[in-house]
A and B are shown apart, each in its own frame.
Chain A
Amino acid sequence: MMIYHFNLIITTMNNTDIKIFKEQALTNSILRIPISFEEFEFIDAKHLEFKNRVFKVSYQALKDLSKVLGMASNSLKNINHKLGKEISIAIFNNMLKANAKKGNSKILFVINRKGEILRILNEKSSVISNEVFFNIADRIIDQNGLGVHDLSVNQEGELVIQTKSRNSEFQINGFKDEVFESGLSISNTHFGINVDPFVHRLVCTNGMVTKMFDESISINSVNQREMGIFFDQLHRLEMNDFKSSGFSKKVTEAITTPASIDELTKAIKLLTDHSEITNHEVEEFINHKQTFRDYLNLGVDIEKISVAKKRNAKSGISMWNVINGVTDFASHNYGYNVNNSVQLQIEAGNMLCKNFDISNTLDVSPY
């Protein structure tokens, strides 16, 4: 898995900005409260009662709990559809009680400072505090002489620190206009701390970040063994100046491969699903309209053809440009209220990592 991240201006943040960000992140840190199944009860789909108080529950938390209870993702909807809201909630609460009677282990409420339950996770899924996260991140940054150039926090309180290695410019053979810098992306999610190598793209004042799945490091517990493995893996990354092996090859392929219609439409949908941007406005980031027009001129409405055909139809834009468009959008506040930029970056990274549709087609045919 890769993550791409674009920045309009690559700078190193000053210490005051970093300090302010840290203070805010610590003040607004989510709270982790382990509780038993018998301690709470749902009032409706948006609220539960715990310690004689009413807590708002996020949709994601509800989905989390369904998963913890071992329910299929759509089973609640099916029950609701057939039996109605009240019975659905009663069944759900009975399931909680049944789990409590079985003596099942505790779960973890991830709560924000407004008292809203953002996630309901298995107690063993470790949520590491921001204090410890900053401690680890500072150590990595200091030991490797990295510069911090971006700090961000999403609505669920997950943090991302993006750093770059000083004097680490490199190029890809055959593409003299593409210049990159390597660095690390260090993030604290509800499922642990992740450290990923990434690459800044220094063209047109854009920067790009990528992380490869096989080089990504994560920890979800602060124990000696896990931390030992974590730091050993980090050391191996240091030895390679944090460069993703295989990055150059993949970028070369992305530059020379046209995106399929399916890849193009999926990228557009990514942007519209994760923000308030319209299809029309997406053109600013991914030039898709000309492709749509060109196919219409041939009498093909590409929005109506099958997915299989979309995968085999070339667009007029390279995979590289599609991915750049998504990551640029993901990493900056262009005023479209991106709801989870980290997730969007991950989705965009997946686009580069996968086998491109058009790579699987033959350009020639004997018939």
Chain B
Amino acid sequence: MNTVKMQDIVFSKEIFNPMKTNTPIDDMFSFEGGIFPATNYMIIGDPGSGKTTLGLDVLAQVQATQKDRKVLFISAEMNKIDMFGFAKRYPKFDTIDILFTGEFMEENISEIIEAELEKGYDLVLADSFMEIQESVMESNSKSRNQAEKWIIDLMNKHNLGGNKNHVYTAFLMIQQVTKGGLFAGSNKLKHNTTGMCELKMSKDFNGERFVTFTKNRRGSKHERLFYSLESNDHVIYNQKRLDRDIHVKKLQKQEENTISKDQEEFDKLLDSLPKEINLPNKTEKSIIETDFNDDLPF
């Protein structure tokens, strides 16, 4: 088995140039801001939490912000009619390249997807991993594990620029959750992801939606970015609230530190205190001496 040293590996600079949406979610994906090429994120959440809308908003924003970036939406759940209505509400989704896999049920789905990815996309949103997996199982007579392996291998291939234009494709894979709200995928799939982006309805804040990363190799975890889908134009992120939550986390850390510092200061103070009651020092007036009066409880 051949080993490698990282110093011997050379990557294209392009792989370290993140794709920006110019929205607050950039800071959730990575410390540098944006989605790095050759990364894979799972987007999970309850039905209605806005997985598709948020994913498409990311694609549309990347496309609008960086004209040279190519984005693709693989829709295995929505058909053209559904999508038409969706795009009416969010007009900026109109210009995204979409592959509707449902139209190729009688054909070889895996070949169609492979051919499309061969064109070399910077960012691909797939809705959903499980639906594509099942389509491939049915269309190509593969087992569940074989279909999963095929998708993971395909992602890896394109992560490494294995397409016509040598583009280091990044993937956003929407995935279903179990009834208990857990990720409905194998450990292999979980390990193959850069980050796990969860969309949740807050129990504490009147059911408001927020994005949080429970796993992220490129950025921070467990921050909560609240967002709203009420707009007819795009997803509205609450940057102020994110900043506030980050600030609160820092305060919590600071408070923990001061509590342990209090204990250290107290230990030092102990040495200076008497082991027996001292007679009151008349010259030194402390709060205790001034505070007490003759009206002692005992």
Which residues of A does B touch, CB under 8 Å?
31-33, 43-47, 51-60, 62-63, 66, 76-77, 79-80, 85, 88-89, 92, 111-116, 118, 128-129, 131-132, 135-136, 139, 155-156, 222-225, 227-228, 231, 339
The answer to whether B297 touches A80 (Cβ under 8 A) is yes
**Whole-angstrom distance between the Cβ of A299 and the nearest chain B Cβ:** 37
In the bound complex, residues from chain A placing their C-beta under 8 Å from that of B275 are: 52-54
In the bound complex, residues from chain B placing their C-beta under 8 Å from that of A76 are: 297-298
Q: A56-B286, A112-B287 are in contact. Are A89 and B298 (CB under 8 A)?
A: yes
- A sample of 29 inter-chain contacts (CB < 8 A) reads A33-B266, A45-B298, A52-B275, A53-B273, A54-B273, A54-B274, A54-B276, A54-B278, A56-B288, A58-B287, A58-B288, A58-B291, A59-B292, A77-B297, A79-B298, A80-B297, A88-B298, A111-B269, A112-B287, A129-B258, A132-B251, A132-B254, A132-B255, A135-B254, A155-B287, A223-B248, A223-B252, A228-B205, A228-B248
Q: A76-B297, A132-B258, A227-B244 are in contact. Are A43 and B277 (CB under 8 A)?
A: yes
**Whole-angstrom distance between the Cβ of A306 and the nearest chain B Cβ:** 26
Complex Cα distance, B134 from A306, in Å, reads: 89
Q: A77-B297, A132-B251 are in contact. Are A118 and B258 (CB under 8 A)?
A: no
CB of B265 within 8 Å of the partner chain: yes
Q: Which of A31, A223, A227, A228 contacts B269 (CB 8 A)?
A: A31
In the bound complex, residues from chain B placing their C-beta under 8 Å from that of A113 are: 265, 269
Binary flags per residue of B253-268, CB closer than 8 Å to A gives 1, else 0: 0110011001101100
In the bound complex, residues from chain A placing their C-beta under 8 Å from that of B204 are: 224-225, 228
Complex Cα distance, B262 from A223, in Å, reads: 20
Which residues of B does A touch, CB under 8 Å?
204-205, 224, 241, 244-245, 247-252, 254-255, 258-259, 262-263, 265-266, 269-270, 272-278, 286-288, 290-293, 296-298
In the bound complex, residues from chain A placing their C-beta under 8 Å from that of B251 are: 132, 135-136, 222, 227
The answer to whether A33 touches B262 (Cβ under 8 A) is yes
The answer to whether A33 touches B244 (Cβ under 8 A) is no
Q: Which of B245, B274, B290, B297 contacts A224 (CB 8 A)?
A: B245
Complex Cα distance, B249 from A339, in Å, reads: 36
Complex Cα distance, B286 from A129, in Å, reads: 23
Known: A46-B296, A59-B293, A88-B297. 17 other contacts (CB 8 A): A43-B277, A45-B297, A51-B270, A57-B288, A58-B287, A58-B292, A59-B291, A76-B297, A77-B297, A111-B269, A116-B288, A135-B251, A135-B254, A223-B252, A224-B204, A227-B244, A228-B241
Complex Cα distance, B274 from A54, in Å, reads: 6
Q: Can you name the residue of chain A whose Cβ is closest to the Cβ of B284?
A: A114
The answer to whether A224 touches B248 (Cβ under 8 A) is yes
In the bound complex, residues from chain B placing their C-beta under 8 Å from that of A62 are: 297
Complex Cα distance, B287 from A112, in Å, reads: 10
Interface of chain B: mostly helix, strand, loop or mixed: helix
In the bound complex, residues from chain B placing their C-beta under 8 Å from that of A129 are: 254-255, 258-259, 262
In the bound complex, residues from chain A placing their C-beta under 8 Å from that of B258 are: 129, 131-132
The answer to whether A111 touches B266 (Cβ under 8 A) is yes
Complex Cα distance, B296 from A225, in Å, reads: 42
In the bound complex, residues from chain A placing their C-beta under 8 Å from that of B296 are: 45-46, 59, 80
Interface of chain A: mostly helix, strand, loop or mixed: mixed
The answer to whether A92 touches B298 (Cβ under 8 A) is yes
In the bound complex, residues from chain A placing their C-beta under 8 Å from that of B269 are: 31, 111, 113, 115
Closest CB pairs A-B (n = 8): A88-B298, A76-B297, A80-B298, A129-B258, A53-B273, A56-B288, A227-B248, A31-B262
The answer to whether B286 touches A131 (Cβ under 8 A) is no
In the bound complex, residues from chain A placing their C-beta under 8 Å from that of B248 are: 222-224, 227-228
The answer to whether B265 touches A31 (Cβ under 8 A) is yes
The answer to whether A46 touches B276 (Cβ under 8 A) is no
**Whole-angstrom distance between the Cβ of A200 and the nearest chain B Cβ:** 28
Complex Cα distance, B241 from A135, in Å, reads: 17
In the bound complex, residues from chain B placing their C-beta under 8 Å from that of A47 are: 277
**Whole-angstrom distance between the Cβ of A62 and the nearest chain B Cβ:** 6
Q: A47-B277, A227-B244, A231-B244 are in contact. Are A116 and B297 (CB under 8 A)?
A: no
In the bound complex, residues from chain B placing their C-beta under 8 Å from that of A128 are: 255
In the bound complex, residues from chain A placing their C-beta under 8 Å from that of B276 are: 54
The answer to whether A32 touches B259 (Cβ under 8 A) is yes
Complex Cα distance, B249 from A15, in Å, reads: 27
The answer to whether A116 touches B255 (Cβ under 8 A) is no
In the bound complex, residues from chain B placing their C-beta under 8 Å from that of A56 are: 286, 288
In the bound complex, residues from chain A placing their C-beta under 8 Å from that of B288 are: 46, 56-58, 116
Complex Cα distance, B251 from A60, in Å, reads: 29
In the bound complex, residues from chain A placing their C-beta under 8 Å from that of B274 are: 53-54
Q: Can you name the residue of chain B whose Cβ is closest to the Cβ of A75?
A: B297
Complex Cα distance, B272 from A228, in Å, reads: 42
In the bound complex, residues from chain A placing their C-beta under 8 Å from that of B272 are: 115
Complex Cα distance, B265 from A129, in Å, reads: 14
Complex Cα distance, B250 from A222, in Å, reads: 10
Q: Can you name the residue of chain A whose Cβ is closest to the Cβ of B271?
A: A53
Q: Can you name the residue of chain B whose Cβ is closest to the Cβ of A53?
A: B273
